[in-house]
Amino acid sequence: MRGLMQDWSLTVDRIIDHAARVHATREVITRRTDGTIHRTDYATIRHRAKRVSAALRKIGIGLGDRVATLAWNSERHMECWYGAMGIGAVLHTLNPRLHPDQLAWISHDAGSRILILDTSFIGLIETVREQLPFEHYIVIADAQTLPDNSLDAMPYEEWIAGADDAPEWGGFDEKTACGLCYTSGTTGNPKGVLYSHRSNVLVSLMALGKGALGIAPDDIVMPIVPMFHANAWALAFAAPAAGAKLVMPGGQLDGASVFELLDKERVTFAAAVPTVWLSLLHHLRQHGLALPWLRRVVIGGAALPVAILRAFEEDYDVEVVHAWGMTETSPIGTIGGVPAALAQADEATHVAQQLKQGRPPFGVELRITDENGRDLPWDGASPGRLMVRGFAVAGAYFNGAGGEILDEHGFFDTGDMATIDTHGTMQITDRAKDVIKSGGEWISSIEIENITLSHPAIANAAAIGVPHPKWDERPLLVVELRSGHSIGADELRAHLDGRIARWWMPDEYVFLNAIPLGATGKVNKAALRKIIRNR
Ligand code: AMP
């Protein structure tokens, strides 16, 4: 017997329809590439997104066609998302921090005919234009602000002004492809993760839950995490779904610029990777500033260092939510916090729990397995390969890359190593390929890095394994000092001593002016290993 409820398909166009109807005048603020602040609202975004749909239709784009964007977080980028997705086209976000050759490779693999880009990326695209498959270039600008270029590009404002009908949205199956995002994989070719409308709607609803990101209508949400990084962690869907005000920071993600928006726009909720937060905290300390409006920050993409946790909670009275996820999980995988069973425990236990990556919300299932695929106990002490299954987890990559990616139970191998404790709380011990294997035992590079980062002179840190004749590998610690600080290996050693096991102590300390970061703002260990090898 079938249920008798309405057939209301889960397509993302309904999110902006809802926001435009119920929260029509709720503001969306953007810091544009020229630094000016632009103010609009959900009703206007929906109206203009319809124009984008019409403009796409005019050049023959429809169901299943890919539409590429190369853009920072902005209201016009959002219009492109909803305009493309609404007519069943697939919005493909390109990451501008990738090498131009990689951008070209990904563009071909994705097969988009059109690229919509910020003015700041014109030069980048011109360098590889010959290798790109695009027939149409649209620059997010108007006729007056469109810079000279060799792309034969059309300004966005003129492009959408020339299309004045308003195509119907939706009407297709909720499992229709909706977005395409390539993994930032440091080895091999990037692989495309193809989100569906259903997975995006469900992950957005999941994000709204209080046990997840808990976004409410009175929130002012700033996704500092870019829209090209795993769906901006669902925030460009979840914020309009909740009716929250949105603050889009554009491309200026340094501490001073982030602070200015947090303060002026009274942001209550923001999300970013640890490197962004480190630079904000540094700016706050340097200038003696406070964060009176900010209530909650989500920190994910890389492990939360204890120094960030303490600074936010103790110095600025901001709640920290540590989250783990990946492009393949849309990206919410686990959400950190102190389980109710430990509410009365001591402060050290609370901190230890908050530093863990957290528990999966409903809709995400986890396993940890040994090298033979057997389940390991949830005892908080047995690290194994982290496997994941759920309604917003990739079942295969675009164009069949990587072949079969699920095990016989339908679980995806995350490539992360983790423990899970009796409370169901997961802790990443390492990326499987970053684990330091010494004398047959594993050393967690993440833990060494976190403890190093709690030293006030350290701006960034990375532990890597280097070959050793007796122990197989030994840890080497690379650090980047804050400007104006100078400490040596002895002080670093003293800082780690007693905080990590004796045999985890790095054999060598290397000081670099800048630790290389990858395309999503995380330490690029592959590049770092190369630097260390070529010293
Ligand atoms: P990406 O698909 O680029 O978002 O990268 C996903 C990977 O980032 C995961 O597989 C983890 O290795 C890492 N990652 C994400 N969040 C965390 C976290 N909170 N702690 C440690 N590693 C993380």
Query: Residue 260 corresponds to which tokens in the numbers above?
Result: 């200015």
Q: Whose CA is nearest to atom 6 of ligand 1?
A: 326
pLDDT at position 105 is 94
Distance CA 382, CA 123 (A): 49
Instruction: State the distance from the centre of ligand 1 to the C-alpha of 324, rounded, in angstroms.
Output: 6
Whole-angstrom CA distances from 166 to 55, 160, 365 are 10, 11, 41
Q: Whose CA is nearest to atom 23 of ligand 1?
A: 302
pLDDT at position 185 is 59
Instruction: State the distance from the centre of ligand 1 to the C-alpha of 331, rounded, in angstroms.
Output: 9
Q: Which of 306, 355, 361, 354 shows the shortest CA–CA distance to 334?
A: 361
Q: Check: CB of residue 95 under 8 Å from CB of residue 73.
A: no
pLDDT at position 146 is 96
pLDDT at position 497 is 93
Distance CA 499, CA 46 (A): 53
pLDDT, tens digit (0-9, with 9 covering 90-100), for 77-93? 999 999 999 999 999 99
For residue 476, the cross-strand partners are 464, 508
Residue count of the chain, please give it: 535
Distance CA 217, CA 234 (A): 16
Which of the residues are catalytic?
A: 183, 328, 437, 442
Q: Whose CA is nearest to atom 22 of ligand 1?
A: 302
Whole-angstrom CA distances from 81 to 363, 380, 406, 468, 497 are 25, 41, 29, 50, 50
CB crowding 158-192: b at 16 or more within 10 Å, else e: ebbeebeeebebbebebebbbbbbbbbebeeebbb
Instruction: State the distance from the centre of ligand 1 to the C-alpha of 61, rounded, in angstroms.
Output: 34
Contact 302 CB / ligand 1 (< 6 Å): yes
Q: Which atom of ligand 1 is nearest to the CA of 322?
A: 19
DSSP-assigned letters across all residues of 303-363: PPPHHHHHIIIIIS--EEEEEEE-GGGSSEEEE----GGGTTS-HHHHHHHHHS-BBPPTT
Contact 184 CB / ligand 1 (< 6 Å): yes
SS3 category, 289: coil
Distance CA 176, CA 501 (A): 50
DSSP-assigned letters across all residues of 425-450: -EEEEEEGGG-EEETTEEE-HHHHHH
pLDDT tens digits in sequence order for the chain, 535 residues long = 999 999 999 999 999 999 999 999 999 999 998 899 999 999 999 999 999 999 999 999 999 999 999 999 999 999 999 999 999 999 999 999 888 888 999 999 999 999 999 999 999 999 999 999 999 999 999 999 999 999 999 999 999 999 878 899 999 999 999 999 998 655 578 899 999 999 999 999 999 999 999 999 999 999 999 999 998 999 999 999 999 999 999 999 999 999 999 999 999 999 999 989 999 999 999 999 999 999 999 999 989 999 999 999 999 999 999 999 999 999 999 999 999 999 999 999 999 999 999 999 999 999 999 989 999 999 999 999 999 999 999 999 999 998 999 999 999 999 999 999 999 999 999 888 888 988 877 888 988 998 999 999 999 999 999 988 888 899 999 999 998 899 999 999 999 998 988 889 999 999 999 999 988 788 999 899 999 988 8
Q: Whose CA is nearest to atom 3 of ligand 1?
A: 184
Which residues touch 21 (CB under 8 Å, ≥6 apart)? none
Distance CA 350, CA 347 (A): 5
β-strand 245-248 against 220-223: which pairing, if any?
parallel
Gyration radius of the chain's alpha carbons: 23
State which of 428, 447, 453 you would mutate to test the pocket of ligand 1, scoring each by most atoms of that ligand within 8 A of its C-beta: 428
Q: Which of 322, 270, 332, 306 shows the shortest CA–CA distance to 447?
A: 306
Distance CA 508, CA 493 (A): 10
Contact 419 CB / ligand 1 (< 6 Å): no
Query: Residue 516 corresponds to which tokens in the numbers above?
Result: 């290389």
Q: Among all chains, which residue has been given the structure tokens 């976004």?
A: 215
Contact 299 CB / ligand 1 (< 6 Å): no
pLDDT at position 99 is 83
pLDDT at position 169 is 98
Distance CA 208, CA 216 (A): 7
Q: Whose CA is nearest to atom 8 of ligand 1?
A: 301
The letter for the amino acid at 46 is: R
pLDDT at position 224 is 97
Q: Whose CA is nearest to atom 9 of ligand 1?
A: 326
Which residues touch 245 (CB under 8 Å, ≥6 apart)? 26, 27, 28, 29, 219, 220, 221, 239, 265
Which residue ranges form the domains of the chain, and what is each CATH number?
Answer: 13-315 (3.40.50.12780), 336-433 (2.30.38.10), 435-533 (3.30.300.30)
State which of 180, 326, 413 you would mutate to test the pocket of ligand 1, scoring each by most atoms of that ligand within 8 A of its C-beta: 326
Q: Which of 424, 241, 415 shows the shortest CA–CA distance to 329?
A: 415
Burial class for 347, CB neighbours closer than 10 Å (0-12, 13-18, 19+): exposed
- Is pTM, for the whole model, over 0.95? no
Burial class for 483, CB neighbours closer than 10 Å (0-12, 13-18, 19+): exposed
State which of 213, 324, 332, 359 you would mutate to test the pocket of ligand 1, scoring each by most atoms of that ligand within 8 A of its C-beta: 324
Instruction: State the distance from the centre of ligand 1 to the C-alpha of 326, rounded, in angstroms.
Output: 5
Q: Which of 155, 453, 501, 465 shows the shortest CA–CA distance to 310?
A: 453
Query: DSSP E strands: which ranges in 434-528?
Result: 436-438, 441-443, 458-468, 472-481, 508-511
